[in-house]
A and B are shown apart, each in its own frame.
Chain A
Amino acid sequence: MAFLELNVLNNPQDPIIGIDLGTTNSLAAIFRDGRPHILRPHQQDSRIPSVIHFPKSGNPIVGRAAREHAYSHPGTNLFSVKRFMGRGLADVKGDLAEVPFPVSETEHGLLQFDIHGKTYTPQELSALILMRVHDVACQQLDGIMPQRVVITVPAYFDDAQRQATRDAAKLAGLDVVRIINEPTAASLAYGLDQKKDGTVAVYDLGGGTFDVSILSIEEGVFRVLATSGDTHLGGDDLDRTLVEVALEELRPQVGELAEDPAFQQGLRLAAEKCKIELSRAPEADFHFVVPERNLTWHKHVSREEFEALVAPLIERTLDACRRAMADAGLHNDAIDEIVLVGGSTRVPAVQRRVEEFFGKKPHTELNPDEVVAMGAAVQGHILAGGTRDILLMDVTPLSLGLETMGGATAKIILRNSPIPCQQTEGFTTYADNQTGVDFHIVQGERELAADCRSLGKMKLSGIPPMPAGMARVMVRFQLDANGVLIVTAKEESTGTQASIEVQPMHGLTDDQVEEMLQASFDHAREDFDASLLANLKTEIGTMVRATAAHMDDARDRLDPETVADLDEAIAAAQRAADGETDVKVVQRARDELERATLPLAALLMDGVAKQALTGKSLDEV
């Protein structure tokens, strides 16, 4: 009997998908048949806008449909939720200008959005986005629904922000196997694509955050040497410069309306359009209309003007590059390749300044919107046991330490230390017969503990009375491969011990996560169906419009049977979109419509091909 050789190493049975949870867009990928694949809906843009629409009644809608609502129903949508993750009110003042809902803070520093009488934390909002991304991904996977995921975060995210991301995934019903850094993920995708050893700088300017990471790639080992960044600098801020220009002109005209969040949101979307146009053309029209206010405003913007506006922001990214290079102990000429990540790196001025800074043309072959998700899929493949050929060795972006007497910080684990790592420091008592020591754990580079992020407090008690300075308290910081910190304190002479797994401010407690999960389980099925229904209906609308636009032309060229079939499918889909509430029926109508439009699509493709070939001789073809 012959044995079948099963290629289990290549496609693990229980795959782990990678999810890029972005400020502006999110997407998922999976590693299969030797390379990462983006999980995109058929013939559609792979990106799912990280936008949530809240109808006055009914469930929130996420993604492309929500983004369309942002234009038609301003004031009912949330953008850039990622900017609020793991943050308190004081941190996000500037970002609230275009949030059309009241925002408050709980005692534990947790943000809450009051939306149509229901409160949502940033974690719950991100969970909505994750659920949508996961749905779309599973639709492409023929029935497998991997619950295990690798989620990416900006490298410069602190502990609170990472923990918030982890909790969001839990709330979405996902099992987070690993949180990895976005630039590191991008380097994996790049390295796999290029198969070249060397020193690489990843410059990642996303929708809301900036990261730079310096890596050494050697025989499949990706080792991060240093990372730096700014968690509050991205495409949103580039848009903001144009918004400010517009507001200056508009304020005298519209008065208080200028401060209205919905107005600001609309204005930023217009600014974003203008920015994107300016990456293609030397000049663009900045166009803003509010029909119900009878307001039409536009301004001609040249690329030079825009570049002058954003120059200070670009310089800030280069400051972080300088810091990362200094921490890596390298000169700029040691960089062999620069990888650009994030939609904002399409801005020509960004590419130019990066090239000037490193003295080398950046690598632009990979799609800057997709590399992060692809890299996350590669890491998922490694963690699922799919390969031992690739290994990622990452670092912790920020120093971890303790507050000492007088409010100073004693750094225990320095920034850019490889993880996992551990470090033990000895401390002693400062007063005679002191029986307890309080520890305040902080994260950051500042000298004063009050200027760093507070990660938590713990107390070691039960030290036997002895003169000051005699007790020997050993404090151990353990940082695992996920960047989760565990702090243990032990008095050596008695063996008294205390330890905590750090739970940062602005975060959810385990109990809160449990409670929210329970609440969502109660509503899970209906919520899920409602959001799926809304998305399906939007999709049908788009398909029907697209089909109608081509039908007049194509009607004569299709055989009558096909036309009849198509007309019927359109009518059925329309009926389903108008009043049907059973998800299965709507799904079937949508699938039926897609099948019926296939001959039309083929005809149109054929037409395009013929047009392209017209007037060319055979040799040219």
Chain B
Amino acid sequence: MAECSKCGERLASVLVCDACDALQDPASPPGPFEAFGLPVAFAVDESVLKKRLLALSRKMHPDFFGLAGTAEHELAERNTAELNSAHKILADAFRRADHLVRALGGPSEQDERQMPQPFLMEVLEWNETLEDAREAAPESPKRAALDSLETTLQTEREEAMDRIAALLDPLPDTGSPTLTELRKELNAVRYLDRTLSTLREIQLEQASST
């Protein structure tokens, strides 16, 4: 456990001391859990995370260091940037799982590029539904198909995320084969997310009257 460079108290977040509010200058960029001072685990309590974000921001946001020297102001910028980047990972279950798989030495997205044939066929079908809906007239059933596709995609995503959560509790050992399995699930979720985001784009375009 790291200690505060000023008062010597044990640090929760490696970016700032909870006891004396002194900004810390960690030797290497911290991981997201260290930045927040949270235990490394897939499950994160959303309300705890938000409280922590606000409390830590209050201690180290650069806006509060206007009267401080350049070095301290820069440290506040850097640490708040680290905090914000860490929050982005921790606040999203997918990014959190992706981070844990990497941190435990698992394969990267590119390492497990191969998706099973039946899944790819499914992806092709979704894309077809999307393209049909994009071109379709307002009252066409092809547009209505968007809503049912959205439900399908969301259900599949929830199921995949449930499997990912189960595989990550307890955390697998470094280099365990479970990590490969996790990466495959995560890559499938990436496909689902890409499709969902295209679907939302089309929905926004169609909600617009101009």
A, B in one complex: yes
Q: Chain A residues in contact with chain B, CB under 8 A?
A: 177, 218-219, 221, 223, 312, 315-316, 319, 322-323, 326, 379, 382-385, 388, 391-393, 417-423, 478-481
Contact B84 A421 (CB under 8 A): yes
Of B1-9, B75-83, B99-107, B123-131, which stretch is located at the interface? B75-83
A480, chain B: closest CB distance, angstroms: 5
A125, chain B: closest CB distance, angstroms: 30
Knowing A322-B204, A326-B200, A393-B57 are in contact, say whether A420-B210 is a contact too (CB < 8 A). Answer: no
Could you say which of A388, A392, A422 contacts B81, with CB atoms under 8 Å apart?
Answer: A422
Knowing A326-B200, A423-B85 are in contact, say whether A177-B66 is a contact too (CB < 8 A). Answer: yes
Contact B85 A388 (CB under 8 A): no
Given contact pairs A420-B78, A480-B77, a sample of 15 additional A-B residue pairs in the complex whose CB atoms are under 8 Å apart: A177-B66, A312-B209, A315-B210, A319-B210, A322-B204, A383-B63, A383-B66, A385-B67, A391-B58, A393-B57, A393-B61, A420-B77, A422-B78, A480-B62, A481-B61
Knowing A218-B54, A322-B204 are in contact, say whether A418-B61 is a contact too (CB < 8 A). Answer: no
* Chain A residues near B87 (CB-CB < 8 A): 418
- B64 at the A/B interface (Cβ < 8 Å)? yes
Looking at A219, A384, A418, the one whose CB has the most chain B CB atoms below 10 A away is: A418
- B28 at the A/B interface (Cβ < 8 Å)? no
A423-B78 Cα distance, complex, nearest whole Å? 12
A391-B61 Cα distance, complex, nearest whole Å? 8
Identify the closest chain B residue to A479 (Cβ). Answer: B81
Contact A221 B210 (CB under 8 A): no
Could you say which of A219, A312, A479 contacts B54, with CB atoms under 8 Å apart?
Answer: A219
* Chain A residues near B84 (CB-CB < 8 A): 417-421
Contact B204 A323 (CB under 8 A): yes
Contact A319 B82 (CB under 8 A): no
A417-B63 Cα distance, complex, nearest whole Å? 18
Q: Chain B residues in contact with chain A, CB under 8 A?
A: 54, 57-58, 61-64, 66-67, 77-78, 80-82, 84-85, 87-88, 200, 204, 207-210
Q: Is the interface of A mostly helix, strand, loop or mixed?
A: mixed
Contact A384 B62 (CB under 8 A): no
* Chain B residues near A422 (CB-CB < 8 A): 78, 81-82, 85
Contact B208 A421 (CB under 8 A): no
List, sorted by A's number, 19 A–B pairs whose CB atoms are closer than 8 Å: A218-B54, A221-B58, A312-B209, A315-B210, A319-B210, A322-B204, A382-B63, A385-B64, A388-B64, A391-B61, A417-B88, A418-B87, A418-B88, A420-B78, A420-B84, A423-B85, A478-B81, A480-B62, A480-B81
Identify the closest chain A residue to B82 (Cβ). Answer: A422
A331, chain B: closest CB distance, angstroms: 13
Knowing A221-B57, A319-B204, A385-B67 are in contact, say whether A481-B210 is a contact too (CB < 8 A). Answer: no
* Chain B residues near A480 (CB-CB < 8 A): 62, 77, 81
* Chain B residues near A322 (CB-CB < 8 A): 204, 207-208
Contact A316 B204 (CB under 8 A): no
A232-B64 Cα distance, complex, nearest whole Å? 34
A221-B84 Cα distance, complex, nearest whole Å? 15
* Chain B residues near A385 (CB-CB < 8 A): 64, 66-67
Could you say which of B57, B81, B207, B208 contacts A391, with CB atoms under 8 Å apart?
Answer: B57
Contact B208 A221 (CB under 8 A): no
Contact A319 B81 (CB under 8 A): no
* Chain B residues near A218 (CB-CB < 8 A): 54
* Chain B residues near A323 (CB-CB < 8 A): 204
Identify the closest chain A residue to B64 (Cβ). Answer: A388
* Chain A residues near B82 (CB-CB < 8 A): 422
Contact A481 B85 (CB under 8 A): no
Identify the closest chain A residue to B209 (Cβ). Answer: A315
A-B pairs, top 6 by smallest CB distance, nearest first, are A420-B81, A422-B81, A385-B67, A418-B84, A319-B208, A383-B66
* Chain B residues near A382 (CB-CB < 8 A): 63-64, 66
A93-B179 Cα distance, complex, nearest whole Å? 56
A574-B144 Cα distance, complex, nearest whole Å? 75
A280-B141 Cα distance, complex, nearest whole Å? 45
* Chain B residues near A379 (CB-CB < 8 A): 63
Contact B210 A388 (CB under 8 A): no
Contact A481 B66 (CB under 8 A): no
A393-B80 Cα distance, complex, nearest whole Å? 10
Identify the closest chain B residue to A320 (Cβ). Answer: B208
Contact A420 B80 (CB under 8 A): yes
* Chain A residues near B209 (CB-CB < 8 A): 312, 315
Contact A421 B81 (CB under 8 A): yes
Looking at A312, A385, A479, the one whose CB has the most chain B CB atoms below 10 A away is: A385
Identify the closest chain A residue to B87 (Cβ). Answer: A418
* Chain A residues near B62 (CB-CB < 8 A): 420, 480-481
* Chain A residues near B78 (CB-CB < 8 A): 420, 422
B128, chain A: closest CB distance, angstroms: 20
* Chain B residues near A388 (CB-CB < 8 A): 58, 64
A383-B64 Cα distance, complex, nearest whole Å? 6
A464-B58 Cα distance, complex, nearest whole Å? 45
* Chain A residues near B66 (CB-CB < 8 A): 177, 382-385
* Chain A residues near B207 (CB-CB < 8 A): 319, 322
A218-B55 Cα distance, complex, nearest whole Å? 11
A221-B77 Cα distance, complex, nearest whole Å? 17
Could you say which of B54, B63, B85, B204 contacts A421, with CB atoms under 8 Å apart?
Answer: B85
A219-B208 Cα distance, complex, nearest whole Å? 36
A221-B58 Cα distance, complex, nearest whole Å? 8
* Chain A residues near B77 (CB-CB < 8 A): 420, 480-481
Could you say which of A223, A312, A391 contacts B210, with CB atoms under 8 Å apart?
Answer: A312
* Chain A residues near B204 (CB-CB < 8 A): 319, 322-323, 326
Looking at A382, A384, A421, the one whose CB has the most chain B CB atoms below 10 A away is: A421
B137, chain A: closest CB distance, angstroms: 20
Identify the closest chain B residue to A422 (Cβ). Answer: B81
A379-B64 Cα distance, complex, nearest whole Å? 11
A219-B80 Cα distance, complex, nearest whole Å? 19
* Chain B residues near A315 (CB-CB < 8 A): 208-210
Identify the closest chain B residue to A316 (Cβ). Answer: B210
* Chain B residues near A420 (CB-CB < 8 A): 62, 77-78, 80-81, 84
Looking at B66, B67, B82, the one whose CB has the most chain A CB atoms below 10 A away is: B66
* Chain A residues near B64 (CB-CB < 8 A): 382, 385, 388, 391
A480-B87 Cα distance, complex, nearest whole Å? 16
* Chain B residues near A393 (CB-CB < 8 A): 57, 61
A39-B148 Cα distance, complex, nearest whole Å? 56
* Chain B residues near A221 (CB-CB < 8 A): 54, 57-58
B99, chain A: closest CB distance, angstroms: 13
* Chain B residues near A481 (CB-CB < 8 A): 61-63, 77, 80
* Chain B residues near A384 (CB-CB < 8 A): 66-67
Identify the closest chain B residue to A312 (Cβ). Answer: B210
A323-B203 Cα distance, complex, nearest whole Å? 10
* Chain A residues near B58 (CB-CB < 8 A): 221, 388, 391
Contact A391 B63 (CB under 8 A): yes
